[in-house]
């Protein structure tokens, strides 16, 4: 009695190697698309840091990412759009680290933990390199500064403001909630400017990054202590 032929699907399922080469053509899976996106952004970060914004080209970035130029152009309208995504991803990684920081019942220790984590990420080699790039190329590409501010500083302020506003857990009516949001945003701006600006200036002026990083904890604790002494956090306790 002859052997009954297996169906194509059955043979494919029984042979992993065959299945790799017999997938139907079509749109890539979300996982595959995400992998391409990450490779492009990794390559773009490296090329921008090495060549500067002005010296970088989409062709070089595509080559470094192992992707076709068509793939790159289908995702980004130009170099500024790609740089914006690099900055956005860097910011999202920073904020992700912030909200993985240990929670605390009291607001002041929580702010110490969150802002310390944020500044540590900000003073990483990669982020400082991107900020230096923006500062160097801002005269020729003025939109870079606003793009970086919108994607970085403003999003960090909004994230910390939300954390402050929601800390007490109190239920507020809409007008009181809107007022608390405005107050928390002003407070978050003051706190982050007081903590981040001096550390960032030291790093950009050429001080050793290791020395600046070594001062993060004491600087953050002293700054938050000033806000506590001024009773600035009382409304959100």
Is pTM beyond 0.85? Reply is no
Q: Mean pLDDT per segment of 10 residues, for the chain of length 237 residues?
A: 47 37 40 75 93 90 90 88 87 74 78 92 90 86 80 86 86 87 95 96 94 97 97 91
Annotated domain spans of the chain: 29-76, 86-236
Class of CATH domain 86-236: mainly alpha
pLDDT of residue 106: 87
pLDDT of residue 218: 98
In terms of C-beta distances under 8 Å and separation of at least 24 residues, what long-range contacts does 109-113 make, across chains too?
110/163, 110/167, 111/160, 111/164, 111/191, 111/224, 111/227, 111/233, 112/220, 112/221, 112/224
Q: What is the CATH number of domain 29-76?
A: 1.10.10.60
pLDDT of residue 45: 93
Q: Do domains 29-76 and 86-236 have the same CATH topology?
A: no
pLDDT of residue 64: 93
């Amino acid at each position: 009695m002859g052997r009954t032929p297996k169906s194509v699907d059955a043979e494919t399922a029984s042979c992993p190697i065959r299945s790799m080469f017999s997938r139907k053509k079509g749109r890539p899976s979300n996982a595959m698309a995400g992998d391409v996106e990450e490779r492009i952004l990794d390559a773009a970060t490296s090329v921008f840091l090495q060549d500067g914004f002005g010296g970088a080209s989409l062709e070089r970035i595509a080559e470094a990412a192992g992707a076709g130029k068509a793939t790159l152009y289908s995702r980004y309208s130009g170099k500024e759009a790609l740089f914006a995504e690099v900055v956005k991803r860097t910011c999202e990684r920073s904020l992700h680290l912030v909200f993985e920081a240990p929670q605390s019942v009291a607001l002041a220790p929580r702010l110490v933990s969150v802002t310390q984590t944020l500044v540590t990420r900000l003073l990483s080699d990669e982020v400082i390199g991107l900020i230096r790039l923006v500062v160097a190329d801002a005269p020729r590409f003025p939109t870079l500064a606003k793009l970086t501010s919108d994607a970085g500083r403003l999003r960090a302020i909004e994230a910390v403001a939300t954390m402050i506003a929601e800390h007490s857990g109190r239920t507020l009516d809409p007008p009181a909630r809107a007022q608390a949001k405005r107050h928390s945003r002003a407070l978050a701006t003051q706190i982050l400017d007081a903590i981040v600006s001096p550390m960032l200036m030291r790093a950009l002026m050429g001080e050793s990054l290791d020395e600046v990083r070594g001062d993060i904890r004491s600087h953050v604790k002293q700054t938050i202590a000033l806000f506590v002494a001024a009773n600035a956090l009382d409304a959100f306790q």
